């Protein structure tokens, strides 16, 4: 079988966006439904999604396991898998891990950019690793079946999570540091350790993670993919585009600032480039998967490998959750 999966999108959801994902033939998308929201705020977001599912039931539905990816493929729909970019919805309460799973959560970052109750984010100065509460939460996430996502976490915290977790973990949206030296991108050693423990990396198409940002070429991206495959093994790589289609700049402010500071923080941006960056031409939305397919062929991947990178590898990972 041949599945197409984008394992991270955070678009401003409308029927149009779901349709674009269908045009791109995506069988599954892992969508970020909350950043810094607490449990009650999460429940409100889920109500919004209930409406999306009702109004677009011909093209999307809530995915709960890998079987829903198979189902989506058969029915020409996209299975939507819920994920959180911060652990704030479980607040300080271990019992909420099971609850958020019941509500459909399948991926949760232990941290966004800052320190959380579970681990350290990549924007902190020092990284003390996974905390006492974090250890308990990892155990519980393993038990109920939520993937530990360390995309925004600091390095020691990520090593800790790999070691503590009894199931493979994921970095759903980031690139290798060797290619573009952004704070959010990951070191060779970390990527090797991730892959040695059956973890997956979702390559990001977010301009701040790309060499030359918006001007990154398809060729450069695909060459990086080849080098990453050499490092991690080709079956450990997928796509986590981090597409934020149609989001207003107020949303990137919320992502970066939450409610933790009185002054503005610009995260990966800067004062002069504070908004969402522009996507490269060859990946303006998920229809860019077609360009990736061609680009990956050009750098020498065979068909099976390309199918793996564009979806089958994530499908196999979902089977293990």
Residue numbers of the site for a copy of itself (CB under 8 A)? Answer: 36, 38, 88, 91-95, 114-117, 120, 123-129, 131-134, 136, 140, 258-262
Nearer to a copy of itself, 62 or 164 (CB): 164
Bridge partners (DSSP) of residue 109 are: 149
Between CA 121 and CA 130 the distance in angstroms is 11
Chain-centroid distance, C-alpha 42:
18
Which of 223, 253 has the CB closer to a copy of itself?
A: 253
Min dist CB 296 to a copy of itself, Å, is: 38
- Region at 212 (left for phi over 0; alpha for psi -120 to 50; beta for the rest): left
Residue number, 126 or 181, with CB nearest to a copy of itself: 126
| Nearest to 197, CA basis, from 219, 226, 225, 166 | 166
What is the full DSSP assignment across 248-291? Answer: -HHHHHHHHHTTS-SS---TTS-STT-SPPPPPGGGSSGGGHHH
Least distance in angstroms from the C-beta of 158 to a copy of itself? 14
Burial (CB < 10 A; 0-12, 13-18, 19+), residue 2, is middle
- Residue 225's closest CA among 284, 269, 291, 148? 291
Q: Give the nearest distance from C-beta 255 to a copy of itself in angstroms.
A: 13
Q: What number of other Cβ atoms are within 10 A of residue 264's Cβ?
A: 11
d(Cα 152, Cα 111) in Å, to the nearest integer?
Answer: 6
CB of 88 to a copy of itself, least distance (A): 6
Closest distance of CB 25 from a copy of itself, Å: 39
Shortest Cβ 86–a copy of itself spacing (Å): 9
Q: How far is CA 197 from the centre of its chain?
A: 18
Of the two residues 59 and 164, which places its CB atom closer to a copy of itself in the complex?
164
Nearest C-alpha neighbor of 238 from the set 287, 202, 283, 195: 202
- For a copy of itself, which is the closer residue by CB, 69 or 130? 130
Of 264 and 298, CB closest to a copy of itself: 264
Helix (H) or strand (E) holding 160: helix 155-164
CB of 99 to a copy of itself, least distance (A): 12
Is the CB of 92 or the CB of 230 nearer to a copy of itself? 92
Task: Indicate the SS3 state at residue 114.
Answer: coil
């Amino acid at each position: 079988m041949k599945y197409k999966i984008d394992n991270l999108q955070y678009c401003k959801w409308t029927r149009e966006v779901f349709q674009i994902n269908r045009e791109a033939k995506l069988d599954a998308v892992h969508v970020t439904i909350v950043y810094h929201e607490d449990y009650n705020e999460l429940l409100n977001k889920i109500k919004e999604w209930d409406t999306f599912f009702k109004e677009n039931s011909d093209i999307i539905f809530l995915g709960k396991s890998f079987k829903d990816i198979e189902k989506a493929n058969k029915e020409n729909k996209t299975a939507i898998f819920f994920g959180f970019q911060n652990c704030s919805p479980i607040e300080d309460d271990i019992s909420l891990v099971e609850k958020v799973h019941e509500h459909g959560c399948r991926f949760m970052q232990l941290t966004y950019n800052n320190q959380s109750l579970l681990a350290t984010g990549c924007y902190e100065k020092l990284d003390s690793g996974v905390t006492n509460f974090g250890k308990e939460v990892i155990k519980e996430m393993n038990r109920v079946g939520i993937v530990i996502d360390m995309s925004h976490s600091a390095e020691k915290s990520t090593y800790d999570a790999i070691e503590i977790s009894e199931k493979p973990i994921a970095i759903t949206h980031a690139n290798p540091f060797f290619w573009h030296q952004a704070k959010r991108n990951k070191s060779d050693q970390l990527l090797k350790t991730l892959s040695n423990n059956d973890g997956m990396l979702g390559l990001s198409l977010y301009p701040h993670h790309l060499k030359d940002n918006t001007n990154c070429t398809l060729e450069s991206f695909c060459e990086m993919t080849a080098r990453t495959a050499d490092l991690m093994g080709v079956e450990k790589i997928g796509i986590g585009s981090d597409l934020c289609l149609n989001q207003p700049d107020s949303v990137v402010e919320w992502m970066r600032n939450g409610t933790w500071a009185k002054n503005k923080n610009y995260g990966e941006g800067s004062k002069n480039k504070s908004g969402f960056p522009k996507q490269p031409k060859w990946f303006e939305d998920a229809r860019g998967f077609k360009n990736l397919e061609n680009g990956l062929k050009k750098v020498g991947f065979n068909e099976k490998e390309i199918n793996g990178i564009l979806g089958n590898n994530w499908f196999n990972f979902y089977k293990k959750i």
